Amino acid sequence: MAAIVSEKLLDWYDAHARRLPWRAMPGEAAPDPYRVWLSEVMLQQTTVAAVKPYFEAFTARWPTVDDLAAAPEEDVMAAWAGLGYYSRARNLVKAARAVAELGQFPDTEAGLRELPGLGAYTAAAVAAIAFGRRAVVVDANVERVVARLFALEEPLPGVRKQIRSSADTITPDRRAGDFAQGMMDLGATICTARDPKCLLCPLASECDGRVRGDPSRLPVKAPKKAKPVREGNAYWIEREGSVWLVKREGKGMLGGMRSLPDDGWSARADGDGQKPLAGEWSASGLVRHTFTHFALELAVQRYAGSEHPAGNGEWWPLDRLDEAGLPTLFAKAARLALA
């Protein structure tokens, strides 16, 4: 089965590969490891459509890993704003600087795992796609294809070890990178989460999930837990065409990003409601935002007094607010305050 699956999948990929800005098409020279790595980091928990403009902006501004390594971290964080999962951006800078110090990207899965922020998946993807190494690459799309292909009934996340083991059996020694990208494309376009297009699938005759009659129910997902809802406040302090922004601590929620001052809300607790300045405040409205582990209801409070904020911060011109790199939550709050 393994040889048949890999042969059919590669034939399908040769004819149907998606053209993506970070990808070398079948038959072309291997892509730049920097572009592969950058795209894979951006694509974690993020759609291809959302990543494309960010990838193009990053590679236009920082064309090589050395360029990115030399960039100030705050500039990279600002350019990343809106992609979410901001620890990825912090690790991006750390890894770029590590590669610059090495003089090149490590060309093995084990070597890549030594770089900051590169987990098993990213290291395998870069090793296979950029360097042609045989590596087992399993993202959410591949996970779905393999669970259906082998009709794996154990619910997530427990089934992941079995999925990886099964993926290993069908990963070829040659063209492992094309095979990985072919599996990703198959999951994204044919073996979709809902309404898989089995009649168009090159692996339909080998698919045990299809034989059993209901591939769309695989992989079996554990019931979702309800997310807690936290409450907090963000504070809009405006003065002569500028707004007061602070920089969040380097670690933790939205670490290292510019933001509006807030009252210390977190994934574990509501904000304390303590305002940064005494005086009159008025409510501008409520912003709702969903994080991975919790939802947040953020009340936006506008300052009407004349006191100057204490602590580290900066007055940011309102006509250049889009250059501040506010994360999505605070960009929503800013739009509400400006409205």
Catalytic residue annotation? 40
> Sign (positive/negative) of CA torsion 321, 324, 328, 329?
negative
Q: Are 98 and 8 in contact (CB under 8 A)?
A: no
Q: How many Cβ atoms sit within 10 Å of the Cβ of residue 51?
A: 22
CA–CA dist 85, 142 (Å, integer)? 22
Helix (H) or strand (E) holding 282: strand 281-290
Q: How many Cβ atoms sit within 10 Å of the Cβ of residue 209?
A: 25
Please give, one letter per residue, the 3-state secondary structure of 194-245. CCCCHHHCCCHHHCHHHHCCCHHHCCCCCCCCCCCEEEEEEEECEECCEEEE
What are phi and psi for residue 46, nearest 5 degrees?
-140, 145
Q: Are 148 and 220 in contact (CB under 8 A)?
A: no
Q: Are 18 and 188 in contact (CB under 8 A)?
A: yes
Count how many Cα atoms sit within 13 Å of the Cα of residue 101 in the half-sphere of its side chain. Answer: 8
